[in-house]
Structure 1
Amino acid sequence: MDNRSNTIAGWVLGAGIVALGVTIVTGEMFHAERPEKMGYPVEGVTGVETGGGAEAEKPAAFYLASADPAKGAETFKKCTACHNADKGGPNLVGPNIYGIVDQPIGKHAAGFAYSPAISGKGGSWTWDNLFAWLKSPSSFATGTKMTFAGLSNPQDRANVIAFLNSKSDAPKPMPAAPAAAPAAGGAAAGGTTNAAAAAEAKQPPQGDKAKDQPILTENKATPGKNVKDMAAPSVDGRASQTKK
């Protein structure tokens, strides 16, 4: 019994040593440090994967200017389980929303029991309010009974609003796209150009400088005595004298 127990214990100890050795070896072979940024970057995609932020959402008017009511009708099919958008249609789980654009919030559908979160919201269903409501009902009106999570795509929201606007006796004109802000680089470039032009205007003409330069006369050009006062040497080395 003792020999068998010792043999078993030896095998167990040996197996443990082998397992430990394999763990150390494989750990060294496949050692890798945690990358600073997790995930794999995908070209043309922004967000968590590339470490950059998602593009900021533009104002509602930007998307509404190109909204398509036909596409909005397709997206609105997700809402038909709770809402009816036909004239004279009944209230369902949610109120009838025919002609809802510019109507008071929480008071449009007669006979519908709005939640206090909606009935006490105040204001009207403007383009911006509808845009915010369709993005996240719970954020727009905390405590609302509407459980719809919202539409994350801003163009889908704009299309639905265009569809709802068409479901009216008097559809409203869709807003125009907001004017684009001037590029900061253009203004800076213009300022640089103007500054350079102003600096150049202060420079005197090159021709004027030439006029202002003094002209050397014969007297000024020769140091010492005047040229006429200097005696010319004679052939024998003596200065010539003027006869009286």
Structure 2
Amino acid sequence: MINKVAAAVLTAGLIAMTAGFISSFVYHPSTPVENAFVIEVQEGAGGAAPVEETGPEPIVPLLASADIAKGEKLTKKCASCHKFEKGGANGVGPGLYGVVGNAKASHDGYTKYSDGMKEKGGEWTYEDLNHFLYKPKDFISGTAMSFNGLKKTQDRADLIAYLRTLSDNPVPLP
């Protein structure tokens, strides 16, 4: 009786292996198949071409629907160096109350601006803040700000919308 069971199991295994072997010829031909689409690659030395970064997306269209509460939460990343209260003391960096629309490198009582910040000139417009918060060191060469930037466009919009509220006379939305 045990011999018959063992023989049945071995026979079933042999049939399964044979069926698998035969089906591999039926369903997987040995001739190569053409790709569904062709990926064209430029030939030349140097490997992959460098990706050119174009900078941040425009922020103005997102400001009207930005979440000011989320922007305020994002300031926790900034609070180790900046203060946000009206008339508050400066920290490692200048206070940011009234920054939107204010002249660059001009916060009262703050004297540690980098030469790059002083030379940049102009006012902190919505787009300038967008570029600066995206990559500070790219926007202002030589800035002392060690922050790497906010990569998410919506985060920058939320933060800039919150900074806009820190003013006695907020700059109108474009």
TM-score normalized with structure 1 length? 0.47
Shift in Å, 1:110: 2.5
Instruction: State yes or no: 1:78 paired with 2:77.
Output: yes
- The Cα offsets for residues 107-164 of structure 1, whole Å up to 9 and x where unpaired, read as 1233332110101111110010001010010001011111000000011001111111
Instruction: State yes or no: 1:157 paired with 2:153.
Output: no
Aligned to 1:9: none
CA distance in 1, matches of 2:142, 2:78: 19
TM-score normalized with structure 2 length? 0.66
Answer with 1 or 2: which has the greater Rg: 1
In structure 2, list runs of 5 or more residues that go unmatched. Answer: 1-37, 40-54
Shift in Å, 1:57: 5.5
Cα RMSD between the aligned structures? 2.0
- Greater relative contact order (Cα < 8 A, sep 6+): 2
- Relative distance call for 1:57 and 1:149 in structure 2 (3 A) is closer
Confirm or deny: 8 A CA contact 1:97 1:109 kept in the other structure. Answer: no
Instruction: State yes or no: 1:69 paired with 2:61.
Output: no
CA distance in 2, matches of 1:113, 1:58: 30
Letter in 1 for 2:95: N
Confirm or deny: 8 A CA contact 2:116 2:140 kept in the other structure. Answer: yes
Q: What pairs with 1:188-203 in structure 2 (closer than 5 Å)?
A: none
- The Cα offsets for residues 81-115 of structure 1, whole Å up to 9 and x where unpaired, read as 00001101111110011011111111123333211
CA distance in 2, matches of 1:118, 1:58: 22
CA distance in 2, matches of 1:116, 1:157: 25
> Percentage identity across aligned positions?
44
Shift in Å, 1:69: 1.0
Aligned to 1:101: 100
Structure 1's consecutive aligned runs of 4 or more residues displaced over 4 angstroms after TM superposition are: none
CA distance in 2, matches of 1:61, 1:84: 25
- The Cα offsets for residues 174-216 of structure 1, whole Å up to 9 and x where unpaired, read as 23xxxxxxxxxxxxxxxxxxxxxxxxxxxxxxxxxxxxxxxxx
CA distance in 1, matches of 2:145, 2:78: 11
- Relative distance call for 1:146 and 1:58 in structure 2 (3 A) is closer
Confirm or deny: 8 A CA contact 1:106 1:118 kept in the other structure. Answer: yes
Shift in Å, 1:65: 2.3
Aligned to 2:135: 136
